[in-house]
Chains A and B, each alone.
Chain A
Amino acid sequence: MAIFKLVIRRSLMSVVTLLLVSLIIFSMLEILPGDVASRILGRDATPETLAQLRTELGLDRPAPVRYLDWLGGLVTGDLGKSLASSRPVSEILAPRIFNTVLLSAYAFLIYLPLTLVPAILQALYRDRAADHAFSVVTLVLLSVPDFLLATILLLTFVIVLPLLPAISLVDQTSSAWEYFRAMTLPALTLAIVMAVYAVRMLRDNLIEVLDSDYIRMAELKGLSRRRVLLRHALPNALVPTLNVTALNLAYLVGGVVVVEKVFSYPGFGSLLVDSLQLRDLPVVEATVMIAAFVYVAANLIADVAAILLNPRLRTG
């Protein structure tokens, strides 16, 4: 039962973290810099319009009351109304989140082979020229910012080889093929960025496992090299890589902000940037909370998986 307690404790910590995130976001955006109403209206503000907007937004109430009100809304799924379009925030968010989930799933599909194949080849041919050359390639890719990588891919696949569209605008009327074409470049960018971290990690883990006694044992038993690698080494090297995948999911939440913006893909990340520019606070707050939620959930899952996979804790 100790393990059960550990999982519960870890989950409660995640809830506390999310509550603190909500407090931080709310105070940063609504309490710190003077007044929301004047920031929304900007230079055109007159005292009358300011007072009217304040009452409309409920800004005349004290901050703690507004915070609890907003938090209550978040928990019950009522995210408020957009200031820019006065539509419910959840109505604006739903299609954007759908698009981003689709994009992320596509990116993960590309990410898997992009991680496994180079890492396995590097581990097999370790310390040969090809291994070193590929380590240099991943180091350089690691240093290329995602917006630059996206721009280079755009240059390659849109301008030099005109295969894909430069702007990834899609909506509910788009066909599956249009979606596929629109998502390919943003997904490829995200997949490369994520794979670069994971390849470096998996290569080192694989090499460490390949040097261990039980692999030597399997080789001495006369198992084929392929079988040793795929059945004995890879599963053991994958466990630490799971952690990187959780980190990658966390990267993805931030990475979509830039990558979706580069390709004008109508997802959750470009919504955040657009609503920040419009100073549409309810939408900004909701998107940031969702981003933090995904991050916290990914880390929780990785930690719980680590607890469950740890045999020492399992028996305790």
Chain B
Amino acid sequence: MSIETLSAPPARSTRSLSSLFVLWRQTPLSFRIGLIILLIHFVLAATGPFWAPYGYSQMGTGRPLSGMSWAHPFGVDQLGRDIFSRVVYGAHIVILLSLSGTLLGLVVGAVLGLLSGYVGGWFDEILQRFLEALISIPFLVLALIAIAAAGPELSGNPVLIVLVVALVYAPRIARMARSVAVDIATRDYVTVARLRGESAWSVMRRELLPNATSVLLVEFALRAGYAPVLIGSLGFLGFGLRPPTPEWGLMISENRALIMVTPITVLGPGLMLASLVVGLNLFTEGLARILGRTVKLGVQ
């Protein structure tokens, strides 16, 4: 194959469009379905607050507990709030908190894990034992005691939720990143960089991080897929965001008492939460397959 045939530039816009389509057709089906579900959720989250029929805490929008109707697809709660509007408003809250918490956990975990795997020795040994201890506390329990430790002034604060998600994920991501670093640390190009006199930080950033990207990407997608459930569980147990925030887990817990009268007020937020996580999981599985990795969905 000659270089000319590869670099010959035909009509550019149509080519990139059609090659994009070819690329799309080559991705696994799970990736495509996952991405479409995620796009719907993202569009909903970004635009929802502008077209939602009612405000998220607006009362008296209809007869309380009146069930499904065209005006109120997900029914009306005890206080006369439109559940559909609340669910739509909640989307950006759930997605923003999940992504920022996971991202923070990823950054902290990746830096700690890569450095620890590269530096080795005492630092590595102590850090590993410490992270192992954090992982040994079931993640929901760790999240609950972290919230209790933060004290009543901070409870319900979105920043606290982001920090808690990061605290739960960072040790698990660090363990993964460390195993990658240990694997790469003995390669020639890392040795060369070290002999050049590069600092551990610079080796991590320039040699280890680029080689860990695909692992970290899959790890990020996997953790992000569970973050909405973690945030929802905290809300459900009364340790997450405070009412009247339309967080889905909190809404499920609020409307659960009256599930006999209007099941849709629980199933509506549940459908949103589950479909977001289905989308994230499908996306993760497809992404892992594209990057040539295997991923165990759901194993936290």
Contacts and interface: CB of A to CB of B under 8 A. Distances in A.
A159 interface: yes
Question: Which bracket fits the contact residues of B?
Answer: 35 or more
Interface string B68-101: 0000000000000000000000000000000000
Given A20-B129, A155-B259, A29 B136 contact: no
A151 B132 contact: no
B238 A277 contact: yes
A133 B270 CA distance: 22
A291 B141 contact: yes
Contact of B274 (A13, A144, A296): A144
Prevailing SS type, chain B contact patch: helix
Interface stretch (B14-22, B39-47, B193-201, B276-284): B276-284
Contacts of A247: 299
Interface stretch (A56-64, A122-130, A253-261): A253-261
Contacts of B299: 197, 244, 247
Interface in B198-231: 225, 229
A20 B270 contact: no
Nearest to B225: A143
Contacts, number: 143
Interface string A277-304: 1010000100010011001100100000
Given A29-B145, A279-B148, A17 B136 contact: yes
Interface stretch (B59-67, B107-115, B149-157, B174-182): B149-157
B256 interface: yes
Interface in A109-158: 139-140, 142-148, 151-152, 154-155
Given A20-B130, A33-B151, A273-B144, A145 B232 contact: yes
A257 B232 contact: no
A230 interface: no
A16 B225 CA distance: 32
Contact of B237 (A244, A273, A279): A273
A222 interface: no
B266 A29 contact: no
Nearest to A24: B133
Interface in A219-258: 244, 247, 250-251, 253-254, 257-258
Prevailing SS type, chain A contact patch: helix
A106 B76 CA distance: 38
B221 to A, nearest CB: 13
Given A28-B149, A32-B149, A147-B232, A254 B139 contact: yes
A21 B256 contact: no
Contact of B278 (A13, A18, A143, A197): A143
A200 B294 CA distance: 13
A33 B149 CA distance: 6
Given A145-B277, A152-B270, A291 B137 contact: yes
Contacts of A291: 137-138, 141
A296 B136 contact: yes
Contacts of B256: 151
Nearest to B140: A254
Given A18-B133, A148-B232, 7 more contacts: A16-B129, A21-B136, A28-B145, A140-B274, A244-B299, A258-B236, A291-B138
In the complex, the 10 A-B pairs of residues with the closest C-beta atoms, listed nearest first: A254-B138, A20-B133, A143-B277, A145-B229, A143-B278, A28-B149, A33-B151, A254-B140, A142-B298, A148-B270
13 contacts: A18-B136, A20-B130, A20-B133, A23-B133, A143-B278, A145-B249, A146-B233, A147-B233, A254-B138, A258-B233, A273-B237, A288-B145, A291-B141
